[in-house]
A and B are shown apart, each in its own frame.
Chain A
């Protein structure tokens, strides 16, 4: 049975903490003396008061959360917090309606990076920082952060964290205590982000751009403080740094954590996904470069390689930065990139999509079926890194793929019915459910999602949320069985 009040109580604490997170852009606003100061002041106040009121109201009903409460908590966190996050945007830009504002903050928290805003370069620094900070918070996961810094989730925290972690096998613990695991993951994440910011600065960015882009690079979010994204800098060095840290963000942070603790590269070698992920992205980048060169999109192979590497890595890792308008490329290249973003990144990374591990399991399962027709008496386990994968995991992955495919088809149909063309509709659904960012045609890298109608925007918003929470967490909350006593 789900008990809403204890869940709301925990939510209230998270809202208060979220209000504190708004202090960072507020400080930046004071520092730069920009125009968004009052917007942030009011937003902090409203958020804080709302959280505190909710806390006071639900205080008498607090209790340890059960696994089932966890689903509700995660669903609420990921839908309510973006609403509060829109406050500064709405107050600074009165012309922005709630639908677009909510889309923008959901795109931020889910690390999608699709935007409805244009003229980013003219926005106050605090607003840009807020967008990218949201991505950074959403990248590793809000609940993971809560488990790391707040003791209130208690033992139930481990089950609740699982609902937010990405990937089919969530039981591997890195440390005996879940709090330590969560802290470790966030520490590695923060350390890598800091390193990324420093290297960006060294490669020629200003301090503000370096920090903002480090936030959205490690989280594989894709927001930038410039309309032209990485194209604004037009610097191979900055692009190379971006590629490097995007690739890092696409690897399981549990593996990073082990590598940090042991100070060796061995964990990467034994990671069942990292190798396939890096190889796939590398081969694709080279292939697309050759394809572009052969089709005379770019006069020299090196230019083709530069744009191919950056954009392929950016889309495949579901970051969604762009350095050029790849919508102009021959259709094979961008479609191949969209295909990659569906499954290239590793489980436990900040990337979206189906995840490499599920793709590997599916391929092996398919091969197993073929083999078992040839050898009916053979025992053919599906294995990952020499470990047998139990059938129930395979079934779970199959169910996941089915629901994922079904969701893509259903939402594409909705967008088509609302009047979009097939390429826009399909690419928009794919990039939203994979938390990537730019799609093709109307929602291509050179355009924004502002052109979509309210209905279409809401479809995309839902796609981003179910993609980030890997379907089940959101779907389970809307099943009647979940609410039955």
Chain B
């Protein structure tokens, strides 16, 4: 597939990085030559220097015969203009646009075909905010993902000594909580995945992925570790786009302190926030943290633009007594270095945000993709169409479906019902399948399964 990516910022780069490995022809457009050079040095793609909203630049980037345009520059307006140009002048079939301002999203007509005609609008900051909000709601989880409009959730939990199931085989789960239908989708021990069987024994330190109806999630987590107290006090480090969104999303339910270094940004924050307390200062300033009682914080979320600052402030806060610390870390090597160490959760924004985008890029009828474990594994939601002849899933029992080893169908959402997959469950047309893939390399094979063959129209 030929793809033009506008903007080589954090989102643009990580999208490019992900797509380039999946055999796509990628051209990246940006106004910053240094960024482009950096990208070209690392990845096998073409770059064009210039403004993404200028038709001549777009032509140079080969927009006329591309299959997809992904506009992820810093500016909403540039993205929208590029999208409209791509549709009117160049007939680009698929146009994905990153939009920050909620104003554009609040009126449906702005994105409709008679206006800017956007196929998919993504807001990475919003996705990250939702991700962190979930972590605050479920303080025990490492990651919480929702499928089928929030009916089903997948949580990653680290098993701790003291959880009723720890040290026992998985089949005991049904005895412990008979009323709850749940499924352990995968277990990671160290870095190696284990596809769970009934007699797999959960050990302390395992990272367990469980799938259950959203209202049952807490009970399932309770099996794996004792529950923490609910979060009440949250300190947010960094009042950038993510910090502000996060504070706005949760300021009604939690006591929030937000620390920002830039004085003018502090004024903006204090104007836009009603209840959160805006503090001016350095996040790694021990005196400030102490004065603001970091030791009583249930959670510190460091979301500045600076990886090192986030890491250091989290380490500092943890040493000073903060209960849990979450750091936003862009560099993948740092993430792997720090997860499960002093820092409770390291979030990689690129991995957290590009799932939605990837779902759109891929073929088949995949409606949702979530990256797990820093992009090593993925959970995806796919809709199956057709019948027994045209599709390789429909009308078959789960055990009949030719899934590659390392992939498993975890659950089926049929209408409003959530069905945990068993070997003899039969897949029907229009079912949403939630599939767990422990290795990303298996993805192309899995995607093929959900395609409807050419004969079916």
User: Which residues in A have some Cβ–Cβ distance to B below 8 Å?
Assistant: 375-381, 383, 386-388
A377 touching B291, Cβ below 8 Å = yes
What are 30 of the A-B contact pairs (CB < 8 Å)? A375-B277, A375-B279, A375-B292, A376-B291, A377-B279, A377-B280, A377-B281, A377-B288, A377-B291, A378-B277, A378-B278, A378-B279, A379-B266, A379-B267, A379-B269, A379-B270, A379-B278, A379-B279, A379-B280, A380-B270, A380-B278, A381-B267, A381-B270, A381-B271, A383-B271, A383-B274, A386-B274, A387-B271, A388-B270, A388-B271
Q: Which of B255-307 contact A (CB under 8 A)?
A: 266-267, 269-271, 274, 277-281, 288, 291-292
CA distance A376 to B288 in the complex (A): 10
Distance between Cα atoms of A388 and B271 in the complex (Å): 6
Return chain B residues, CB-CB under 8 Å to A388: 267, 270-271
**Residues of A with C-beta under 8 A to B281:** 377
Q: Which residues of A contact B291 (CB under 8 A)?
A: 376-377
Contacts of A381 in B (CB 8 A): 267, 270-271
Instruction: Give the docked Cα–Cα distance between A220 and B143 (Å).
Output: 62
Contact pattern, B 135-176, Cβ under 8 Å of A = 1, otherwise 0: 000000000000000000000000000000000000000000
In the assembled complex, the CB of B181 is this many whole angstroms from the nearest CB of chain A, namely 45
A169 to B319 Cα, complex, angstroms: 49
Task: State in angstroms the CA–CA spacing of A105 and B108 once bound together.
Answer: 59
CA distance A346 to B129 in the complex (A): 40
A377-B280, A388-B267 given. 11 additional CB < 8 A pairs? Answer: A375-B277, A377-B288, A378-B277, A378-B278, A378-B280, A379-B269, A379-B270, A379-B279, A379-B280, A381-B267, A383-B274
With the chains together, A381 CA to B263 CA distance in Å? Answer: 13
Q: How far is the CB of B228 from chain A (nearest CB, A)?
A: 27
Measured between alpha carbons, how far is A387 from B271 in the docked complex, in Å? 7
Separation of A377 and B279 alpha carbons in the complex (Å):
5
Max chain B C-beta neighbours (<10 A), residue from A375, A378, A380, A386: A378
Which B residues are closer than 8 A to A by beta carbons? Answer: 266-267, 269-271, 274, 277-281, 288, 291-292
Q: How far is the CB of A272 from chain B (nearest CB, A)?
A: 14
Across the interface, which residues of A come within 8 angstroms of B278, CB to CB? 378-380
CB proximity of B238 to chain A, nearest CB, Å: 15
Chain A residues within an 8 Å CB radius of B271: 381, 383, 387-388
CB distance from B235 to the nearest CB of A (A): 13
B239 closest partner in A (C-beta): A379
Task: Among A376, A379, A383, A387, find the residue whose CB has the most chain B CB atoms closer than 10 A.
Answer: A379
Q: Could you tell me the distance in whole angstroms from the C-beta of A386 to the nearest C-beta in chain B?
A: 7
Which B residue's beta carbon lies closest to that of A386? Answer: B274
Name the B residues within 8 Å of A375 (CB-CB): 277, 279, 292
Closest-by-CB residue of A relative to B287 is A377
On chain B, the residues within 8 Å of A380 by CB distance are: 270, 278
In the complex, what's the smallest C-beta–C-beta distance from A380 to chain B, in angstroms? 7
- Least distance between A81 CB and chain B CB atoms (Å): 43
CA distance A424 to B266 in the complex (A): 50
CA distance A386 to B292 in the complex (A): 25
Shortest CB distance B353–A (Å): 29
- Complexed CA–CA distance, A386 and B251 (Å): 14
Chain B: minimal CB distance from A381 (Å): 5
Distance, CA A386 to CA B274, complexed state (A)? 7
Q: Which residues of A contact B274 (CB under 8 A)?
A: 383, 386
Q: Which residues of A contact B277 (CB under 8 A)?
A: 375, 378
- Measured between beta carbons, the chain B residues less than 8 angstroms from A386 are 274
Least CB distance, A321 to chain B, in whole angstroms:
40
CA distance A376 to B281 in the complex (A): 11
| Bound-state Cα–Cα, A20 to B154, Å | 81
* Distance, CA A381 to CA B280, complexed state (A): 13
Tell me the minimal C-beta distance from A2 to chain B in angstroms. Answer: 38
Closest chain-B Cβ to A171's Cβ sits at a distance in Å of 18
Q: Which residues of B contact A377 (CB under 8 A)?
A: 279-281, 288, 291-292
Q: Which residue of B lies closest to A387 (CB)?
A: B271
Alpha-carbon distance between A381 and B274 when the two chains are bound, in angstroms: 10
Residues of A close to B280: CB separation below 8 A: 377-379
Measured CB to CB, the nearest residue on chain B to A371 is B277
Nearest 5 pairs of A and B residues by beta carbon: A379-B270, A379-B278, A379-B266, A388-B271, A381-B270
Q: What is the CB-to-nearest-CB distance from A376 to chain B, in angstroms, rounded to a whole number?
A: 8
Q: Which residues of A contact B267 (CB under 8 A)?
A: 379, 381, 388
Q: Closest CB of chain A to B312's CB: distance in Å?
A: 19
When distances are taken between beta carbons in the complex, the residues of chain B under 8 Å from A378 are 277-280
Tell me the complex Cα distance, A387–B291, Å: 29
Q: How far is the CB of B175 from the nearest CB of chain A, in Å?
A: 52
Question: Complex: how many Å from CA A380 to CA B288?
Answer: 17
Contacts of A376 in B (CB 8 A): 291
Closest CB-CB distance, B150 to chain A, in whole Å?
29
Given the complex of chains A and B, what is the CA–CA distance between A376 and B290 in angstroms? 13
Query: How many angstroms from the CA of A154 to the CA of B288 in the assembled complex?
Result: 56
Contacts of A383 in B (CB 8 A): 271, 274
Most chain B CB within 10 A, of A377, A383, A388, is at: A377
In the complex, A376 Cα to B280 Cα: how many Å?
Answer: 9
- How distant is the Cα of A380 from the Cα of B270 in the complex, in angstroms? 6
Q: Smallest distance from the beta carbon of A393 to chain B beta carbons, Å? A: 14
Query: Bound state CA distance, A382 and B249, in angstroms?
Result: 21
Chain A residue nearest in CB terms to B288: A377
Residues in A whose Cβ lies below 8 Å from that of B269: 379
Instruction: Quote the shortest CB–CB distance from B364 to chain A (angstroms).
Output: 45
Q: How far is the CA of A386 from the CA of B248 in the complex (A)?
A: 13
Complex Cα distance, B278 from A423, in Å, reads 47
Q: Which B residues lie within 8 Å of A379 (CB)?
A: 266-267, 269-270, 278-280
A378 to B256, CA, bound (A): 12
CB distance from A379 to the nearest CB of B (A): 4
Q: How long is the Cα–Cα vector from A377 to B280 in the complex, in angstroms?
A: 5
Q: How far is the CA of A388 from the CA of B277 in the complex (A)?
A: 15
CA of A388 to CA of B274, assembled, Å? 11
Distance in Å: Cβ of B239 to nearest Cβ of chain A: 10
**Shortest distance in angstroms between B176's beta carbon and chain A's nearest beta carbon?**
46
Smallest beta-carbon distance B259→chain A, Å: 8
Bound Cα distance A386, B288 (Å): 28
Residues of A contacting B279 with CB < 8 Å?
Answer: 375, 377-379
Instruction: Report Cα–Cα, A387/B292, bound state, in Å.
Output: 26
Cα A377 to Cα B260 in complex, Å, equals 10
In the bound complex, CA of A376 to CA of B285 (Å) = 14
CA distance A19 to B267 in the complex (A): 53
Residues in B whose Cβ lies below 8 Å from that of A387 = 271
Q: Given the complex of chains A and B, what is the CA–CA distance between A379 and B278 in angstroms?
A: 5
Among residues of A, the one whose C-beta sits closest to the C-beta of B265 is A379
Query: How close is A281's CB to chain B, nearest CB, in angstroms?
Result: 26
Query: Cα distance A108–B2 when bound, in Å?
Result: 81
Report Cα–Cα, A381/B267, bound state, in Å.
8
Least Cβ distance of A425 to chain B in Å? 44
Bound state CA distance, A379 and B280, in angstroms? 7
CA distance A379 to B288 in the complex (A): 14
The CA-CA distance from A332 to B266 in the complex, in Å, is: 45
- Closest beta carbon of chain B to A476's beta carbon, Å: 32
Complex Cα spacing A377 to B271, Å: 16
Complex interface: chain A residues within 8 A of B266 (CB) = 379
CB distance from A252 to the nearest CB of B (A): 23
Report the bound CA distance from A377 to B293 in whole Å: 13
Bound complex: CA A383 to CA B272 (Å): 10
Q: Which residue of A lies closest to B277 (CB)?
A: A378
**What's the nearest-Cβ distance from chain B to residue A375, in Å?**
6
Distance A383 CA – B279 CA, assembled complex (angstroms)? 17
CB distance from B433 to the nearest CB of A (A): 45
A381 to B412, CA, bound (A): 51
A377 CA to B269 CA in the complex, in Å? 14
A381 to B271, CA, bound (A): 7
In the bound complex, CA of A380 to CA of B280 (Å):
11
Q: Tell me, rounded to whole Å, the shortest Cβ–Cβ distance linking A394 to chain B.
A: 14
A386 to B277, alpha carbons, bound, how many Å? 15
* Smallest beta-carbon distance B447→chain A, Å: 47
In the complex formed, the residue of A with least CB distance to B285 is A377
Q: Complex formed: what's the CA distance from A2 to B292 in Å?
A: 55
Report Cα–Cα, A50/B269, bound state, in Å. Answer: 59
